[in-house]
Amino acid sequence: MKLSKRLAAIDALITEPEDIIWDCCCDHGYLGMALLKRAAANHLIFVDIVATLMNDLEAQLSSINKLQKTCDKNSQWQVLCQDVGKIEIAQSKSQVVLIAGVGGELLLRLIQQITVNNLSEHLNNVRFILCPVHHTYKLRVGLKQLGLGLISEQIIYDNKRFYEVIEVSFNTNNEISNTGNEMWDFTSAEHAMYQRQLINHYNKMLNKDALYYQKVIKNYQELTDS
């Protein structure tokens, strides 16, 4: 299974062996399976709230002989059917939480819940790699409020849609900007197109909350003001 450009960009951010990787909101589990295949972590945990999806995924993983789960304690992978907001982050040297393919507002709520439900000393060794569908501005503001700092960010143009891949942790002081200051390259026609799309989108939102969206538009325009 070839990963989409978006999922491949996330996969590429995992360059060192990890203790635990969580493929949250995993659905089909393509990303986690690619990581499992290249033994990117000692333990790979797939999480989604839809039972039928998780039953299918568990059956698929079990049928792959070399990945066969022998006993829970030593298993390389685990499938959890539950709310991602309730995952229990264990103490470990290196851990990655991946959340992709859900709206930015839901994604922020999930991170807020994970933060509230887990010990800060456990969260300190976690890298969060996030790729929301829309609402990245609100997500970024919320991540910053939680005290997360930026590791990396990039724009991915995949199948005629723009995505942002945002890598954050509690272990860095690099401030997360509202508009992703580090990810833009305005010599790229694609990036210029993404900026125009965002500004057009937020212009359409002005009738909902003029004051707030005027500020958002101004922030995106400032990216190219010299």
Ligand X SMILES: C[S@@+](CC[C@H](N)C(=O)[O-])C[C@H]1O[C@@H](n2cnc3c(N)ncnc32)[C@H](O)[C@@H]1O
At 180, phi and psi to the nearest 5? 75, 50
Looking at beta carbons only, is 77 or 213 nearer to ligand X? 77
- Those residues whose C-beta lies under 8 Å from the C-beta of residue 117, and which sit 6 or more positions away, are 85, 86, 87, 88
| CA–CA gap between residue 151 and residue 170 (Å, rounded) | 10
| Lookup: tokens for 192 | 């210029």
Nearest distance in Å: CB 68, ligand X = 24
Looking at beta carbons only, is 52 or 120 nearer to ligand X? 52
166 within 8 A of 136, measured Cβ to Cβ: yes
Of all residues in this chain, which one has the CB nearest to ligand X in the complex?
101
Could you tell me how many helices (H) and strands (E) the chain has, helices first?
A: 8, 7
Looking at beta carbons only, is 26 or 40 nearer to ligand X? 26
Looking at beta carbons only, is 27 or 105 nearer to ligand X? 27
Nearest distance in Å: CB 75, ligand X = 21
Nearest distance in Å: CB 83, ligand X = 4
Nearest distance in Å: CB 193, ligand X = 22
Residues making contact with ligand X (CB under 6 A): 25-27, 47-50, 53, 83-85, 100-102
